[in-house]
Amino acid sequence: MMEVGPQIRAVEQLIGILDSVAGDAKRPVALHEPEFAGREWEYVKDCLDSGWVSSVGSYVDGFERQLAEITGARYAVAVVNGTAALHVALRVCGVQPGDEVLVPTLTFVATANAVTHCGAVPHFVDSEERSLGVCVPTLGRHLREIGERTAQGLRNRKSGRRIAAIVPMHVFGHACDMVELVELAAEWGLPIVEDAAEALGSYLHGRALGTWGRVGVLSFNGNKLVTTGGGGAVLTDSAELARRLKHLTTTAKLPHRWEFVHDEVAYNYRLPNLNAALGCAQLERLPDLLERKRRLAAAYFDAARGNDDLAVIAEPAGCRSNYWLNAVRLTKCDEPTRDAALKMVNDAGFQCRPLWRPMHRLAMYAECPRATLPVAEQIAASVINVPSSAALAPRLHDDLI
Ligand SMILES: *Cc1c(COP(=O)(O)O)cnc(C)c1O
């Protein structure tokens, strides 16, 4: 029998916290549920009534305008999902077949898959405890060890391949240290493709996540803060890149009243108008969603206060997080005890889940180049997500009146 004393205590504390925050909710309590409390029905019905459901229609333009306004990006290009958004974002930043792209091992598989879709190879880097995102000082040391400056750019001395870009990912809406990363990337001449799929409505030093890199990517999948059913977007301040993104995602069709002429092999990655209509209604309610997400996070912090066997993950300094998913770190936890804890809380009716299995431990990515990844391993073994729907936010006095 394994020595699990402190872990058992942590699980008991965890159940206590879940009971105090979400105990009144109907079981099972979902990890994250979408909410359609605005004009979703009206806008979708308008699409059906007008017949503009697919590749033409005004909701796509409106959705892109709203996204640009919210994030402060000059341009937003709506696409069919976040993975497709990452794929074209990498392409317009110059990622070529045979290149390597720096990616945190602690991410959703889409980040690495998008690199592979470019014919490139993900090169996994470590994360840091505080933000759960890319650890910039460790990355700097790694690049000094393996990096070589050549006329074609940065080269991995060990593999011989060009390193073409870096993709930081803002885990659960919490910002990576973008100030330091922008500096490091500039030093090595690397474009930043920001995976802000989980971070719509998050800010670092007052600047929206997704607008720190050359391009930034958002997702509107069903489990994200704001959903279009399925959808994504690429943000950029560059008119040239925005034009290029639009072209690549719309089969590279040249504008003409009736002729079909295409000037390169491209993608059908355009977001249908029907999905954009849903998105327009969702975005109208973003401020309210964000306010309740932060209130829910505050409730978790309150409930966890004084417990020393676990800690709720907090937004890093300078970051105003959207708290898309709340996360709890079980201190001194290994994978078997984490799994025992997950079984207990799920049995108790609270949908909780571990982080993603680190990419370098997935069969298809096991042979990829990588840095040492001790912190990512530790985070993956000890952090779990807890129910985070905005509807779970404790009511304010005003709500009760
Ligand atoms: C959701 C997500 C994506 C994109 O996912 P899609 O389902 O394709 O929209 C990419 N990266 C991360 C980190 C995500 O969480």
Q: Distance from the CA of 373 to the center of ligand 1, in angstroms?
A: 22
**For residue 355, which of 381, 332, 373, 375 has the smallest C-alpha distance?**
381
Closest atom of ligand 1 to 220 CA is 9
Could you report the per-residue pLDDT of 318-362, keeping only the tens digit for each? 999 999 999 999 987 888 889 999 999 999 999 999 999 999 999
- For 324-350, give one letter per residue: b (16+ CB within 10 A) or e: bbbbbbbeebeeebbeebbebbeebeb
Q: Do strands 232-236 and 75-79 pair parallel, antiparallel, or not at all (unpaired)?
A: antiparallel
Task: Calculate mean pLDDT across residues 177-184.
Answer: 98
pLDDT value at residue 299: 97
Sign of CA dihedral 40, 41, 43, 47: positive
**For residue 322, which of 152, 174, 189 has the smallest C-alpha distance?**
174
Q: Distance from the CA of 85 to the center of ligand 1, in angstroms?
A: 9
Could you report the per-residue pLDDT of 248-277, keeping only the tens digit for each? 999 999 999 999 999 999 999 999 999 999
Q: Using 50, 70 and 90 to split pLDDT, how confident is the model at 168?
A: very high
Residue ID of nearest Cα to ligand 1 atom 5: 82
pLDDT at residue 213 greater than cutoff 90:
yes
The CB density around residue 287, as the number of other CB atoms within 10 Å, is: 11
- Please, which residues have CB within 8 angstroms of residue 351's CB and are 6 or more apart in sequence? 28, 29, 30, 31, 387
Q: Distance from the CA of 234 to the center of ligand 1, in angstroms?
A: 12
Long-range CB contacts (< 8 A, 24+ apart) of 20-23?
A: 20/303, 21/296, 21/299, 21/300, 21/303, 21/386, 21/387, 21/392, 21/394, 22/350, 22/387, 22/392
Residue ID of nearest Cα to ligand 1 atom 6: 82
DSSP annotation of 366: T
User: Could you tell me which residues are beta bridge partners of residue 147?
Assistant: 156
- Please, which residues have CB within 8 angstroms of residue 145's CB and are 6 or more apart in sequence? none
- Which of 31, 79, 83 has most ligand 1 atoms within 8 Å of CB, for mutation? 83
- Please, which residues have CB within 8 angstroms of residue 48's CB and are 6 or more apart in sequence? 274
- Which of 131, 195, 225, 385 has most ligand 1 atoms within 8 Å of CB, for mutation? 195
Closest atom of ligand 1 to 232 CA is 9
Q: Between 400 and 389, name the one with better pLDDT.
A: 389
Q: Rounded CA gap, 395 and 398, in Å?
A: 8
Long-range CB contacts (< 8 A, 24+ apart) of 297-306?
A: 297/321, 297/323, 297/326, 299/21, 299/393, 299/394, 300/17, 300/21, 300/326, 300/328, 300/386, 303/16, 303/17, 303/20, 303/21, 304/13, 304/17, 304/328
pLDDT value at residue 6: 65
Residue ID of nearest Cα to ligand 1 atom 2: 197
Closest atom of ligand 1 to 86 CA is 10
pLDDT at residue 1 greater than cutoff 50:
no
pLDDT value at residue 333: 82
Could you report the per-residue pLDDT of 16-74, keeping only the tens digit for each? 999 999 999 999 999 999 999 999 999 999 999 998 877 767 999 999 999 999 999 99
- Please, which residues have CB within 8 angstroms of residue 160's CB and are 6 or more apart in sequence? none
Residue ID of nearest Cα to ligand 1 atom 9: 82
Degrees to nearest 5, angle at CA 71 with 65 and 75: 45
- Cα distances (angstroms) measured from residue 210 to each of 90, 155, 205: 14, 26, 13
What's at 110, amino acid-wise? Answer: A
pLDDT value at residue 52: 82
Could you report the per-residue pLDDT of 281-323, keeping only the tens digit for each? 999 999 999 999 999 999 999 999 988 889 999 999 999 999 9
- The overall average pLDDT reported for the chain is 95
Q: What is the pTM of this model?
A: 0.96
- Please, which residues have CB within 8 angstroms of residue 71's CB and are 6 or more apart in sequence? 200, 208, 210, 211, 216, 235
Q: For the chain, how far is it from start to end, CA to CA, in angstroms? A: 54
Closest atom of ligand 1 to 230 CA is 9
- Which of 31, 219, 249, 269 has most ligand 1 atoms within 8 Å of CB, for mutation? 219
Q: Distance from the CA of 109 to the center of ligand 1, in angstroms?
A: 8
Find the DSSP H helices in 238-365. 239-249, 273-284, 286-304, 335-347
Degrees to nearest 5, angle at CA 358 with 353 and 359: 130
**For residue 161, which of 119, 126, 114 has the smallest C-alpha distance?**
119
Residue ID of nearest Cα to ligand 1 atom 4: 82
pLDDT value at residue 308: 83
Q: Using 50, 70 and 90 to split pLDDT, how confident is the model at 109?
A: very high
Closest atom of ligand 1 to 83 CA is 8
Closest atom of ligand 1 to 219 CA is 9
pLDDT at residue 230 greater than cutoff 80:
yes
- Which of 115, 174, 198, 202 has most ligand 1 atoms within 8 Å of CB, for mutation? 198
Q: Distance from the CA of 216 to the center of ligand 1, in angstroms?
A: 12
Q: Distance from the CA of 223 to the center of ligand 1, in angstroms?
A: 10
Q: What single string gives the DSSP state of each residue in 195-259?
A: E-TT-TT-EETTEETTSSSSEEEEE--TTSSS--SS-EEEEES-HHHHHHHHHHHBTTBPP-SS-
Could you report the per-residue pLDDT of 193-210, keeping only the tens digit for each? 999 999 999 999 999 999
The CB density around residue 99, as the number of other CB atoms within 10 Å, is: 21
Q: Which residues line ligand 1 (CB under 6 A)?
A: 81-83, 107-108, 110-111, 169, 195, 197-198, 219, 221, 232
